[in-house]
């Protein structure tokens, strides 16, 4: 039974695709979702961000199609739930994006949509974006990919 909700930043999936240093942590998240230990939720923006990165960074179009089909397979099998953020989530995202200051900067709205989705769904937003975490951790519902538990 899925007992924890997790909102994943697109950069977590990209750890796996590009064999980055935290790919094993990212793989563990998907493994936990496949084993129904957690429920992964992402905003529709997740697909757009992934597609944009693939467009500019993966030359082989067959590889791009493979990864996009894999995401669809995860969604169709219930491992990944893709949602369109409603007004409540969007308003929370605006609230988050308006925090900060001129010196340290303001959180990006795209990141705030993920984070707001986590807050509204009583989930944890997992990201590899240390700047976003530093700017907005006081709202809770956020963790760095490095902090993901390797064993449940």
Cα separation of the two ends of the chain: 13
Residue 127 located in a structural domain: yes
Q: Count structural domains, the chain.
A: 1
Residue 35 located in a structural domain: yes
Q: Does residue 7 have a pLDDT over 70?
A: yes
Residue 24 located in a structural domain: yes
Residue 12 located in a structural domain: yes
Phi-psi region of 22 (alpha: psi -120 to 50; beta: other; left: phi over 0): alpha
Q: Which domain holds residue 87?
A: 4-145
Residue 152 located in a structural domain: no
Predicted TM-score of the model (pTM): 0.90
Mean pLDDT of 32-41: 94
Structure tokens at 12: 């977590």
Domain containing residue 133: CATH number:
3.40.50.1010
* Rounded Cα–Cα distance for residues 66 and 44 (Å): 19
* Rounded Cα–Cα distance for residues 93 and 96 (Å): 5
Q: Does residue 106 have a pLDDT over 50?
A: yes
Mean pLDDT of 118-139: 91
Average pLDDT, the chain: 92
Residue 22, phi then psi, degrees to nearest 5: -100, 20
3-state secondary structure of 116: helix
Residue 118 located in a structural domain: yes
Residue 150 located in a structural domain: no
Please report which confidence band the pLDDT of residue 134 belongs to, taking 50, 70 and 90 as the band edges.
confident
Mean pLDDT of 7-20: 96
Between the alpha carbon of residue 119 and those of residues 6, 75, 96, 115, the distances in Å are: 10, 21, 11, 6
Residue 82 located in a structural domain: yes
């Amino acid at each position: 039974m899925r007992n924890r909700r997790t909102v994943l930043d697109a950069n977590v999936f990209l750890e796996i695709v590009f064999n980055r240093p935290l790919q094993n942590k990212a793989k563990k998240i998907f493994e936990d979702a496949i084993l129904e230990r957690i429920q992964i939720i992402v905003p529709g923006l997740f697909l757009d961000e992934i597609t944009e990165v693939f467009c500019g960074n993966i030359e082989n179009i067959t590889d791009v199609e493979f990864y996009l089909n894999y995401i669809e397979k995860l969604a169709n099998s219930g491992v990944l739930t893709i949602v369109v953020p409603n007004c409540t989530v969007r308003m929370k995202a605006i609230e988050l994006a308006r925090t900060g200051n001129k010196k340290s900067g303001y959180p990006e709205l795209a990141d705030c949509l993920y984070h707001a989705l986590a807050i509204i769904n009583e989930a944890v937003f997992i990201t590899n974006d240390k700047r976003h975490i530093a700017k907005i951790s006081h709202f809770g519902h956020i963790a760095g990919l490095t902090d993901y538990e390797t064993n449940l």
